Amino acid sequence: MNALVARLVVDRGVPSRGSRPAPGQDPAAGPFRLDIELTVASGEVVALLGPNGAGKTTALRALAGLTPLSAGRVDLAGVCLDDGDAVFVPPERRGVGLVFQDYLLFPHLSALDNVAFGPRCRGASAAQARAVARQWLARVGLADLAARRPRELSGGQAQRVALARALALEPSLLLLDEPLAALDARTRLDTRADLHHHLGEHPGPTLVVTHDPLDAFVLADRLVIIEEGRIVQEGDAATVTARPRTDYVARLVGLNLYRGHGDGHTITLPTGMEISAADTVHGEAFVAFPPAAVALYVQPPEGSPRNTWQARIVGVTRHGDYVRVRLDGGPGEASADVTPAGAAALQVEPGQQVWAAVKANQTRAYPA
């Protein structure tokens, strides 16, 4: 049984039912409509991925009851929380736990009292609430820091207190907004593993908003990708990584992606170029290949393999132990990864003309 079934429609830029503009939204951005359908099963972790301004945070706020729906419906464990009209359960009566991006730990309360806040509001006595809070702090490994104020905690510790505070509610739905975004790289690694463990233990449905694909791949069972308020792709990490369906997703997973018309092993792109693929497709199709599969030559390559085109270099950036060369021409924009030695041999620089080639067995084609 799906614990969370929702169709979220939120209009922004148009005054909705008694709400202020949500924080973090640019009021001058013009009208915007979020319209997505989400189902999350009990015990399932779904990641909501998307670029900035796609509506991820708006979706979380709508589920938490901080932004009322313009239309649509939210059902949690069979109870309607918002139907965009007469029914609206306010956030304090939803039992939805929300971990904010910047945690929003109450600065005037100790870590313990922050975690005890939820149980206390639910009618527990001060002593009971603190006992529950102590257990949760122990679970996230912070029993020693119970008396600390939030400003005396490191980023990773604050993140865990925020998680404990949300979990202490025993929420019927757990929401996390960019849970790792505020952390430095090293802390992020540890916290991500920790978080994965705690989310796995949460019995209810969990929705994680992130713009980091790695967070999504590690934390979530399923990915939902939204752009401009719409779902553009859904699926598990393997499917999304192998078969991106938009430029954003392709960039996210690091692939060159083109859309064209398939006829067997050949896909014709709008630029007129034909790409050969190992897969067979008919009709509208995507073709994708990794930047590392693109080879660059100064002269037209010998034996004229298929999938060869002449391109102009528009950018060169160094990433760790390879050099990414951005190309224009042939199928459109493309990225090629070459070794520093290769880049030096080619003397790549913006404006230069080169030949690019991709082997058919390294391209993947699938129906659009």
Label the pairing between strands 79-82 and 71-76: antiparallel
Q: What angle do CA 238, 242, 245 make, to 5 degrees?
A: 115
Identify whether the C-beta of residue 30 lies closer than 8 Å to the C-beta of residue 13.
Answer: yes
* Cβ-based nearer residue to another protein, 201 or 321: 321
Least CB distance to another protein at residue 330 (A): 19
Q: How far is the CB of 177 from another protein (least distance, A)?
A: 11
Report, in Å, the least distance between residue 169 CB and another protein: 6
| Residues lying near another protein in the complex (CB under 8 A) | 20, 23, 64-66, 90-98, 100, 104, 106-109, 117-118, 121-122, 165-166, 169, 314-318, 323, 340-341, 343-345, 348-350
CA distance 207 to 6: 12
Compare residues 90 and 300 and give the one whose CB is closer to another protein: 90
- Toward another protein, which CB reaches closer, 168 or 223? 168
Q: Which is nearer to another protein, 170 or 221 (CB)?
A: 170
Q: At closest approach, how far in Å is the CB of 355 from another protein?
A: 19
Q: Cβ closer to another protein: 30 or 107?
A: 107
Distance CA 80, CA 2 (A): 13
CA distance 66 to 82: 11
Comparing CB distances to another protein, the nearer of 23 and 283 is 23
Closest distance to another protein from the beta carbon of 160 (Å): 16
C-alpha pair distances (Å), 194 with each of 146, 158, 160, 179, 188: 19, 13, 9, 12, 10
Closest to another protein by CB, 110 vs 363, is: 110
Least separation in angstroms between CB 29 and another protein: 19
CB-nearer residue toward another protein: 22 or 360: 22
Residue 303 Cβ vs another protein, minimum distance, rounded to whole Å: 27
In the bound complex, what is the minimum distance in angstroms from residue 137's beta carbon to another protein?
Answer: 15
* The two structure tokens encoding residue 194: 């920790």
